[in-house]
Every structure is written in C-alpha cells, then in structure tokens.
Amino acid sequence: MKTEPDTLEMSLRLSVLDQSPISEGSTGGDALRNSIDLARHAERLGYRRYWVAEHHATPMLACASPEALIGPAASATTGIRIGSGGVMLPHYSPLKVAETFSMFSGLFPGRIDLALGRAPGTDALTAFALQRDRRQGAPDDFREQLAELLAYLDHSLPSTHPFARLGALPGDPERPDPWLLGSSPQSGIWASELGLPYAFADFINPHGPEIAARYRQEFQPSRWRSRPELIVALWVLCADTDEEAERLASSGIMAFTLLRRGQLVTVPPVDKALQFIREEQGQPTPGVFPVKADRRRILGSPARVREGIEAAVREYGADEAMIVTITYEHEARRRSYELIAKAFGLTS
C-alpha cells in the first residue's frame, strides 16, 4: 500500500545558498560559471529559491557582489526565486541597494529576494577599504540604514524626510521581497520588530533555536508579513553513502579550519584534505576520518541527510531549509543537491 508523505515533507520548502566556492587549480570565473549552472540545476530539481552570498578578499569564495550574479542567474532561469544571501548593507547606500533590486524586480517580476545582513563578510581591513570615505570608521547604524531602505521599497518616506522626493524607483510597481539575515539575537529582534521574514545561519551559529523562538513570539505583523516566516540555513552534503559524503566534506572542513586560523586557501582536493585532517587528528592511517565539529554538519546518504534536515527544521520551527554545500568538484555539489531533492520528493 502506498503511504502518504508526512506533514513536514509536504510543507517543507528547500532552497539553495551558493557561496561560489573556488576549487584549487581553478579560477573565480570558473566558480561563477558553476554558480549559474547550479541555479539552473536547482530550478530543474524543484528548489524554491537560489540565493548568492557576499564575501570579500578571499581566494576561496568568488562572489563579492551578489548583484553582479543575480542578474545572470535570473536570466538563466525562468521560475525559481533568485536573491541575495545577502547584501551586507553597512558597505552601501540604502538608496543604491533599493534602486538596484528594484531594477531586478522590474526585469524579473515576482522572483527577486533582497536578504540583508549586518556582518561585513570579510575582515576589518577589507571592510575599511570598501568604504568610500576613509577619514574615519563607518558608524554602526545598520538599524537606521535598514529602515531607510525599507521606506524606499514601500514608498513610505515621510514628507519631512530630506530624501522624500527620491521615492520613485526604476522597477516600480514591482519590488523585491526583503528578508533579514542573522546569526545572533539582535538580528532576530529587529526582524520581529519590523515584521520581516528572517533567515538564520545555523551553519555559522548552531545555537539558534532560542533566537528563532523569540523571533516568532515577538513578531509584529507588518506590510511585509502578517505572520513570522523563518528560514534555517544549514551546512549539508549528501552522497550515495555516508562514507563518501564524509570524504567529500573533507575539502570544506580543511578550508574553513584554515580560514578560522587566518589562512586563506582555495577549496582543496579530497586527498589533500584527508591528509590534512589525519595529521590534525594524529591519524597516520589512511581511511575515512571521524567527523567532529563545533558547528552542525549534516552529512551522509539521502536517508541520513533527510533525517538531519528535518530534525533541524523541527528544532527551529522553520518554514524552509536553505542548504549551503562546499565541495572540491562541482559535479559532487550538483549530485548532492540532486540526491536531497529526490529524498524529499521535490518536483520542478
């Protein structure tokens, strides 16, 4: 007898967060072309949205400008939602961001997400280099920047505001759907106060369920949402077997271990990464390494990965899971998203 899928499977949405990884021996251009290919692949597989991240001054991740990748990705697809995951607003003028994403919305109606973050996406020196005015450090005025940007998007600048006459946007009447990104309590507080949908980065901070619960409890309905909406972003890698997934994950583990030590590298090949991990753990014998981490990693076969994603979604009370995957070979990353889509019964 055929059994019906459980409620979580039927209601859970899956999406893609792409950090545009640069593999050792390849170029940033290769990584960006892989990202466009992944957007097409995600749409064919039935994922709901495809977001691109913003990182600066690193040889490991190619996308320093989400707006430079969103246009090509949206042009290469037809229905999947395309967006930023996210735009690091402290680097930019709210008006410039509003105009750029208004243009995307005019070109691709009903498909553009504008997820905004407070983090610099880089180190302090690079953040300073990104400033237009370097006579002093940039102020910590993210809350004010965010309010101004939202006012541009919904044409709610008061008549007394000095920028009130700048209300017209090039993509009107279309507009992007704003989201707030976060990995700390403050972002959840702002999202609830402003009535914004919220995307929490569990792959950065796996201790977020209390933050998510507070966001839902304190949510204030707004023009953007009548009820709270939560995405949990997870570090996931799926392969045909648990052992193969753990092997493939070694590349990302090595790269991010070195990143936390201040050593910037491209994503290494699996054999090199396995050797690095064996030396780190004092295991000279070749073989699959034991996966130990201070952050949540969901690795394994389709059944194991589905179980892990569902558990995280329940823990957060999330409406959607967004999956970020780092592999050395682009084909392995494509395969991971394909296996996950099959495990959840996604259809394009």
pLDDT along the chain (348 residues), means of 10: 43 94 97 98 98 94 95 98 94 94 98 92 74 74 93 90 85 97 95 98 95 97 97 98 96 92 94 92 54 75 97 97 98 98 91
pLDDT digit string, tens, across residues 193-205: 999 999 999 999 9
What pTM value is reported for the model? 0.91
Q: What is the pLDDT of residue 287?
A: 46
Residues 6+ apart with CB under 8 A from 202: 208, 232, 233, 234, 235, 296, 312, 316
Class for domain 7-250+296-343, per CATH?
alpha beta
Q: What is the pLDDT of residue 294?
A: 60
| DSSP secondary structure letters along 162-213 | TTGGG---TTTT---EEEEEESSHHHHHHHHHHT--EEEETTT-S--HHHHH
Question: What SS3 state is found at 232?
Answer: strand
Q: What is the pLDDT of residue 121?
A: 62
Q: What is the pLDDT of residue 293?
A: 56
Instruction: Please say whether the beta carbons of 244 and 231 come within 8 A.
Output: no
d(CA 259, CA 153): 36
Structure tokens at 166: 């700048």
Question: What SS3 state is found at 14?
Answer: strand
Q: What is the pLDDT of residue 112?
A: 98
Pairing relationship of beta strands 49-52 and 298-300 according to DSSP bridges: unpaired
The residue length of the chain stands at 348
Q: Which H/E stretch holds residue 316?
A: helix 302-316
Q: What is the pLDDT of residue 283?
A: 60
Q: What is the pLDDT of residue 291?
A: 44
Question: What SS3 state is found at 16?
Answer: strand
Q: Which residue has the tokens 């996966």?
A: 291
